[in-house]
Amino acid sequence: MNKGTFVVLASGRGSNFQAIIDRVSDGYINAVCTSLITDNPDAYAILRAKDAGIPAEVVSYRTFPDKNMYENALLATLARYNPDLVVLAGYMRLLGERIVDLYKGKMMNIHPSLLPAFQGLHAQRQALMYGTKVAGCTVHFVTHDMDAGPVIMQRTVQVLDDDDEESLSERILIEEHQVFPEAIKLFFEKKLLIKGRRVFLLPRT
């Protein structure tokens, strides 16, 4: 039986990308990562991909005159790989409707808050400023609205009295590295069922 395939979009250091491909390597995720695609030619994730023998594609936003032309190039790159799943792992751009619609139910993202709380940038800082006692991360399917798609899985961490943005972010990231591979694993096992805003985890047979 042919394994499913996925590509990862990342913009920066790629720690979630590394966590995901490590779980592919050890057999936890029964799928193949066929490419890393980045909008940042200086992303450290590119080195991670090369170390793992995964093709790295740079579609640099700043080389295009507008977002539409950038997304045309991104769509063409995605089409060459024809992935079953697109994984956004620290990809720092909002995708346009054409891409989101094309991969509806087949594109997931991770966000460092318990959505729908603290959408957008600096979610950990937002949690600290608000004074929450619990924070965490959310894996969700991507929709037109930012950080608003159906929730697949969430993990929580306690907010400590002496936390700052860095310490809270580090503890949340530990949970991200666990839950993101798990969500991808379930996708390829066909254990995720989307019904409206809800994602049901089907029982293992």
Q: Which distant-in-sequence residues (6+ apart) come within 8 Å of 195 by Cβ?
A: none
Residues in a beta bridge with 88:
9, 109
Which of 109, 176, 180 lies closest to 143 in space, CA to CA?
A: 109
Other CB atoms within 10 A of residue 147 CB: 19
Whether 111 is a known active-site residue: answer: yes
For residues 60 and 58, give the distance between their C-alpha atoms in angstroms, rounded to a whole number. 6
Element (H, E) at 17: helix 15-25
Q: One of 111, 122, 140, 177 is an active-site residue; which one? A: 111
Pairing of strands 31-38, 198-201: unpaired
Residues in a beta bridge with 6:
33, 85
Please give the structure tokens belonging to residue 16.
């979630």
> Looking at the annotation, which residues are catalytic?
111
